[in-house]
Structure formats: structure tokens, C-alpha cells
Structure 1
Amino acid sequence: MQFVEPFLLWGALAVAIPVVIHFWHQKQGKLLPWAATQWLIEKQQQQSRGFRLDNILLLFIRCLLLALLAILLAQPILNWLNKPPVLQKVHLAQPSPAVSNNFKFELTDALKKGERVIWATNKLEPVTEQLSLPQPPAPFNSLILQTAINSLNTKNTELHLYITTNQALANTPAVIVPALFHLHTLLDSASRLRPYLATKNDQKLFVNRAGKLIRAPLLDPTLKFLSAPAHSGPIQVLLNYRNEREKQTVNAALEALIDVYGFDLIIDEKLIPNRIYSWILTDQIPAKPAAQTLYIVSGIESSARQANVIFTNELLTPQTSELVSTGQLPEWLGTQLTRYYGFQTGNLPLSKQDLKTLFITTTKPTTEQHAGVQNVMLLFFIGLLFFERWLALTKNA
């Protein structure tokens, strides 16, 4: 016999409670003076020693009730008479060229065996012999993956999952998979080389394997970087605000970026002629945006789409911006700058420990596996409870 919650079997130790109450109840009584006691012989006056069990059947039933309740809460499973289930293999593949090419043999072999092979999309599109990817290209992340797994009938299913490992999968705390689960991972070698910034004092600013922005004298040798930095030397920044309060707020956020992350920024609060700025923060729409400059335009709502011009419809002050009031403005500005220079954290691979933590198998049985024995034991428990109450009232115990 197996149990869904075996630790609840410790509750069976509660059978000691009715035994203790039984003996305690025997000790309760009142001494009644009786005049004829003096005529009794000494032998008859001796008190009986030790414990005496009365109403043994009632005591046994009460102990059995507590033990049965503990077993019921532990949710027993009886599989003695069940035949071993027939397992169905399901192959769930990430819709990407890398997975399709790398696991071509495994997926094709599964199709030849008549096993179910599907793309991990919201529609669970079947994989053809040509391994053609869904059209239009389907997005893929941890939420879509979990939705696809939940859409499968995982009862008596052996799931094979084919994915590329990257930080984008870690957007959710965990992905719940069936107990019979096999993970086939691929490190996407086609991902582009990672950029970095060369800052003052021969320091390098880059995203490490854990997806964190750090500054160090040497690049991480386990990662592949571009041969030259995306930017070398200080970054020229211009604060072109008409609102003095907003200028002070943004300036404080940039100073925090310098102190915390080590950005090499030179900040000008007034335009200096003939100086080329790499980053301009303003509350005015630029007339002719320079291609080599990143613009952050606040307080203006615009539908214009330019890679180097970012609009935010709120003024960057504590009274008008949630980013400022919650202290997230420095991090947000740093994210915009690193994205502009091509820093991507989503392509970083997950470690084996990360994958072990991310994918959690569920061993909880289905309702059909233990509903029958649960119902029988529950009916027996209720009947035994009624019998115990009748017996207690009859014997006044």
C-alpha cells in the first residue's frame, strides 16, 4: 500500500489518547464514609493494585477510529489488483530551427514508431515527417511550455521534452511536468557573441552567466564575447530638460548607475557645441535624431517607432512617475542603455542546477487511483463512529 501524504501517518500515535483517558477516568471517584467499614476484616480492606481494563471493546474501537482517521488523511493507494498501465510516449519539441536540426534523428524515429510528436505551442501542432516549423513562427517561453504540457493527457504518459536552454525559460518559478519525464536540452551554439563595454581603469562591463550585469577587469572565459567592445571610454550624456525638478531626478538616477554598476558616464546639463552625445534624456521630441544616439523622451506619448528613441508618457518626477517613486528609475535607465548596446540576457544558458530547480515532476496520483479505497474506508470509518457512539451511550462510558 502506498500513501499520497505518508507523513500524516504519524497521526496514528494519537491512539494513546483514549488509553490515557480510559485509565484516568478509572481513577476518578468519591470516597463515601460507611459506618460498617470498621467491621470488615483487614483482608477485605486491602485496595486492589494495578490498572484494570474496563470496556475493552469500546477502548479498542476508539483507538481504531483514530488510526483509521490517520490512514484516511494519508490518502492510501491500492494498486495490487491493477494491471501495469500501457505507457504512451509523447515528444514535445520547442518550435525552433536549432531543436529541429539537432534532434532530427530522435523526432523522425519517434514518428516512424507511431509515437505522438508535437510542437510546444498553444495549439499543440503535430510535427510532420519534414519537421516543418509552424507558420507563422510561434513564440516560445516557459508560460507557453506549461500551457502545452497542461493541455496534454499526461496520465500514463512518458513525456520527452526537447528545448534549448536559456534564461527566458526561468521567467516562471517552476514548470510542472509528469512523473515520467525526460529532458533533452540543447545549448544554442548559433547564438550571437555577447557585447561588452570598456570603461575606465581597464574595467569591462558585461552580463555574466547568471544574467547579472557586472564590472570586472577580465571577461568571463566561459562565455563568448565580441572581439571589440560595443563602446569604449566614457559615455557622453546630455540632460536636456525644461523642468528643473525632472532634471535633478534623472541626474540622481544616473549617478546611482555610476556608483552601483560602474557605468562610465559624463553628464552634461547643458548642450556643449560640437560634442557628440551617445545618450540624450529630454522632455522634447528630437527634430533630427542622430542614428548613433539613444534618446529617452519623457512626458510625451507617441506612436513613432524608432529603435534609438524611447518615449515614456510620464514625467520622471516622484509625483508623476511610479518608476521614480518606487526607486526603479536607475535600473530602468540602465536596462534601456544596455539594450541599446545589444546586451541580451535571454540567450544565456541555464545550468544543470537551474534546470533541476525549474522542472518539477508531480508524483500525485490521479483521482481514479485512490478514490475507491478512500470511499470504502470513509464509509467504514463513519459506520464505526456510529457504533462507538451507540456503545458509549449504552454502557454510559
Structure 2
Amino acid sequence: MQFVEPSLLWGALAVSIPVAIHFWHQKQGKPLPWAATQWLIEKQQQQSRGLRLDNILLLICRCLLLGLLAVLLAQPILSWFTKPPIIQKLHLVQPSPAVSENFKFELTDAQKKKERVIWADERLSRIDDKSSDMPKYAAFSPLQLQTAINRLDTKNTELHLYIANNQTLASLPAITVPARFRLHTVIDSVSQPRPYLTGKNGRKLFVNRAGKLTSIPLLDPTLKFRSTPAHSGPIFTLLSYRNERERQTVKAALNALTDVYAVDLIVDEAPQPNRSYAWVLTDQPPAKPSSQTLYIVSGAETSEKEANIVFTNESLTPQTSDRAATGQLPEWLGTQLMRHYSLVFNHQPLSQLDLKSLFISSAKPTTAQQAGLQDALLLLFVVLLLVERWLALTKNA
């Protein structure tokens, strides 16, 4: 028998409580000699030896109630009459040259054993000997990793995940994985070329060694950059707000962003024909969002998460938003834009403790696996509770 929450079985130690109470009530008081009953002392002593049978039954019933309650809370799973499933290994690989090269031996060995080896991309492309083309990703985000894991059929499989260990993994509070899971990480020690943007007057926008956004005429010669910018030309931006005050507040924040960092923004307050927008700021969720466009949606909340859609539950006005009231709105909007173009650059590895707390198993048994046993134990608990109440009321104990 297996348990979903085996730690709750420690609650069975509570059976010592009714035992202690039982013996406390059975404790004899200090005898007081009385002349009228001196001839009954011997008879009385003979009747009070040991414990009465009805009290023992009540004690057993109460102990069984507490023990059964602990078992119910631990959620037992009865698998005595079911055959153990055949577990197959599934290998999910981050599209990265550093990852694929570091684990080349393990992945090749898995392919020889006819185990599934796939890329963690949108199509879940299978890696085989004939076609090993790596999907091209400008930046691999934890959200893409979570999406790939969610699309996998992990029933009766053992997931082996191969990823690069860096701080970008912590951009999600947790990554959900199946119960049978093994993590293989590699620290990419090769200096990766940094992305950058070209702003107004040819100024270059990039994150410097201190992790701060910098806008200077020339790239830092001590750093390695990509051969082309992450985005070429002006960034066409659309403001689509029903609230005029919010539109003016966001427009002022964008102007401040342009003045400080020379971001080349062309802002439209109404859609222009034959123009594709790279940045849309609105108070309405997009009906048909484009994967190439960054959306900032204010005054809305949703459980859905998309890498290019940022929701905020407040309207971006000084009266309704702390960011706007304290002057932090331009910085916040700039951070979202930099993340969209992957300018946030951090390849420092996470500690093993951080990795362990980041990947959380959410595998729970299905209702069919435990419904029958849970119902039987619950019925037994109710019957025992009725018997215990009947004995307690009948015997006045």
C-alpha cells in the first residue's frame, strides 16, 4: 500500500491520548477508612481489580478512530492487485549547442536503446540519427520549457531533462514536472554573445557588466556581442486605450524612455494601415496576438501566461498605479521591452538547493486509483464513530 501524504501517518501517534485519558479515569483515589463499610472492604477490592470490559471496548474504538483518521488523511492507494506499469524513459533536451554537446554520450546511448529523445521546442521535434538539426532559438525561456513539459504525455514515463543552468530559470516561481523526473544541468562556460539594440542616432543599447542598461554611441569592446542587433530600425508602437488619462500617462512614459535611453520608438495612437507593430500597449486583451509583438495589457488579470503578453491588474494612471505615481513607469516599461528582445543577460548558475526548490513535482494519483479504498475507509470511520458514541452514552464514560 502506498500513501500520497505519508508524513501524515505520524498522526497515528495520537492514539496515546485516549489511552492516557482512560488510565487517568481508572486511577484509584486515596481510601478513607469508615466503620460502616469495614466489612465490605475485601468484597469491594475483589470487584475493582483490573479494567472493566466495556471501558476496554470504548478505548479500542477510540484508538481505532484516531488511527483510521490518520490513514484517511495520508490518502492510501491500494495497488496490490494491479501490475506495475512499464516505465519508459523520455529525454527532453534544451535547444542549445552547449547542452547537446555536453550530454552527447548520454543522448546517443538513449537513441541506441530506442528511447525517445526530443527537443524542447514548439513542435517537440524528435532527435534521431538521420535528422539532428537543432531548432533555432534566440533565447530559451523557462516558460517555453514549462510549455514543452505540459504537452508531453508523461504517464508511465521517466522524464530526463537536459538544460543549461543559469539565472533565467528563476524567472518563473516554479517549474512543474512529473513524479518520475531526473534533472541534468550544464553550466555554459563559453562566453555567449550579448544581444543589443540600435537606438536613435546610432546609439547602442545593451546590458553592461554590472547588469544595467546602457546607451552609448559604441559597443563595449571588452564584451562579446552578436553580429546583428536584436531588432533593426524603429520600434513601431501602438497605444490603444479607452481612458484618455491613461493614454497620456503611458505616452509620457515612452517619451521619457526615448529621452533617457534613445530608444527609437514611433508611437501611433491609432492603427495605421500596412504597419506591423512590435509593441502594443492597451487596456484590452488582444484577440489575435502575434508571437512577434510585445503586449502590455493593463487593468486585466488572467491565469494564462504568454511570454510576449504582460498583464497588470491596475490602470496605468497616477491615481490607480504606484508605478505611475512614483515615476517608475518608464523604467518598468523599458524592462519589459528589454526582456522581450532578450537584453536581460544573466548566465550565472543557480545553486543545487535553488534548482531543487524550483522544480516541483505535481503528480497526484487519479481519483479512480484511490476512490474505492477511500470510500471504504470513510464508511468504516463513520461506523466506528457511531459505535464509539453509543458506547460512551450507554456506559456514561
TM-score range for the pair, normalised by the shorter chain length: 0.5 to 0.7
The residue type equivalent to 2:86 in the other structure is V
Following TM superposition, by how much is the alpha carbon of 1:329 offset from its aligned partner in structure 2, in angstroms? 3.0
The match for 1:318 is 318
Cα pair 2:194 2:224 within 8 Å, conserved:
no
Larger mean Cα displacement after TM superposition, 378-387 or 360-369: 360-369
Alignment of 1:12 onto 2:1: no
Following TM superposition, by how much is the alpha carbon of 1:50 offset from its aligned partner in structure 2, in angstroms? 8.6
Cα pair 1:95 1:138 within 8 Å, conserved:
no
Using structure 1 for the length normalisation, give the TM-score.
0.58
Matches within 5 A, 1:12-31: 12-19=12-19
The residue type equivalent to 1:281 in the other structure is D
Following TM superposition, by how much is the alpha carbon of 1:175 offset from its aligned partner in structure 2, in angstroms? 1.0
The match for 1:88 is 88
- State the alpha-carbon separation in 1 of the partners of residues 324 and 67 from structure 2: 59
Following TM superposition, by how much is the alpha carbon of 1:157 offset from its aligned partner in structure 2, in angstroms? 1.8
- State the alpha-carbon separation in 2 of the partners of residues 75 and 313 from structure 1: 47
Which among 243, 259, 280 is matched to residue 281 of structure 1? 259
C-alpha distance after superposition, 1:328-371 (max 9, x if no partner):
2363376489889x983245243233433322345755556655
Change (3 A) 1:44 1:123: same
Following TM superposition, by how much is the alpha carbon of 1:54 offset from its aligned partner in structure 2, in angstroms? 5.2
- State the alpha-carbon separation in 1 of the partners of residues 126 and 391 from structure 2: 64
Alignment of 1:227 onto 2:235: no
The match for 1:148 is 148
Alignment of 1:42 onto 2:43: no
- State the alpha-carbon separation in 2 of the partners of residues 343 and 364 from structure 1: 36
- Number of residue pairs matched by the alignment: 318
The match for 2:64 is 64
Matches within 5 A, 1:180-329: 180-188=180-188, 189=190, 191-193=192-194, 206-208=208-210, 212-213=211-212, 226-227=221-222, 281=259, 293-295=262-264, 318=318, 323-325=323-325, 327-329=327-329
The residue type equivalent to 1:130 in the other structure is S
Change (3 A) 1:302 1:88: same
Cα pair 2:139 2:342 within 8 Å, conserved:
no
The residue type equivalent to 1:344 in the other structure is L
Cα pair 1:281 1:295 within 8 Å, conserved:
no
- State the alpha-carbon separation in 2 of the partners of residues 362 and 58 from structure 1: 41
Structure 1 residue runs of 5 or longer lacking an equivalent are 28-37, 196-204, 216-224, 231-244, 255-278, 283-291
- State the alpha-carbon separation in 1 of the partners of residues 266 and 381 from structure 2: 71
* Partner secondary structure for residue 131 of structure 2: coil
Cα pair 1:15 1:63 within 8 Å, conserved:
yes
The residue type equivalent to 2:144 in the other structure is I
The match for 1:161 is 161
* Partner secondary structure for residue 259 of structure 2: strand
Larger mean Cα displacement after TM superposition, 43-52 or 348-357: 43-52
* Partner secondary structure for residue 90 of structure 2: strand
The residue type equivalent to 2:325 in the other structure is S
Change (3 A) 1:318 1:24: same
Cα pair 2:9 2:74 within 8 Å, conserved:
yes
Following TM superposition, by how much is the alpha carbon of 1:168 offset from its aligned partner in structure 2, in angstroms? 3.5
Change (3 A) 1:8 1:338: closer
The residue type equivalent to 1:345 in the other structure is V
Cα pair 2:158 2:180 within 8 Å, conserved:
yes
The match for 2:111 is 111
Following TM superposition, by how much is the alpha carbon of 1:66 offset from its aligned partner in structure 2, in angstroms? 1.6
* Partner secondary structure for residue 121 of structure 2: coil
C-alpha distance after superposition, 1:42-66 (max 9, x if no partner):
2326976898545122221122112
The residue type equivalent to 2:64 in the other structure is L
Q: Give the superposed CA RMSD.
A: 5.3
Cα pair 2:141 2:168 within 8 Å, conserved:
yes
* Partner secondary structure for residue 127 of structure 1: coil
Cα pair 1:23 1:51 within 8 Å, conserved:
no
The match for 1:352 is 351
* Partner secondary structure for residue 148 of structure 1: helix
- State the alpha-carbon separation in 2 of the partners of residues 146 and 343 from structure 1: 18
Look at both structures and tell me which one has the larger radius of gyration over its CA atoms. Answer: 1
Cα pair 1:317 1:324 within 8 Å, conserved:
yes
- State the alpha-carbon separation in 2 of the partners of residues 108 and 14 from structure 1: 54
* Partner secondary structure for residue 351 of structure 1: coil
The match for 1:130 is 131
Following TM superposition, by how much is the alpha carbon of 1:74 offset from its aligned partner in structure 2, in angstroms? 1.9
- State the alpha-carbon separation in 1 of the partners of residues 213 and 58 from structure 2: 72
- State the alpha-carbon separation in 2 of the partners of residues 311 and 362 from structure 1: 35
* Partner secondary structure for residue 185 of structure 1: strand
Structure 2 residue runs of 5 or longer lacking an equivalent are 28-33, 197-206, 215-219, 226-247, 284-315
Cα pair 2:90 2:160 within 8 Å, conserved:
yes
Following TM superposition, by how much is the alpha carbon of 1:180 offset from its aligned partner in structure 2, in angstroms? 3.2
Change (3 A) 1:98 1:116: same
Cα pair 2:167 2:347 within 8 Å, conserved:
yes
C-alpha distance after superposition, 1:57-80 (max 9, x if no partner):
222112211221112212234566
- State the alpha-carbon separation in 2 of the partners of residues 355 and 159 from structure 1: 16
* Partner secondary structure for residue 173 of structure 1: coil
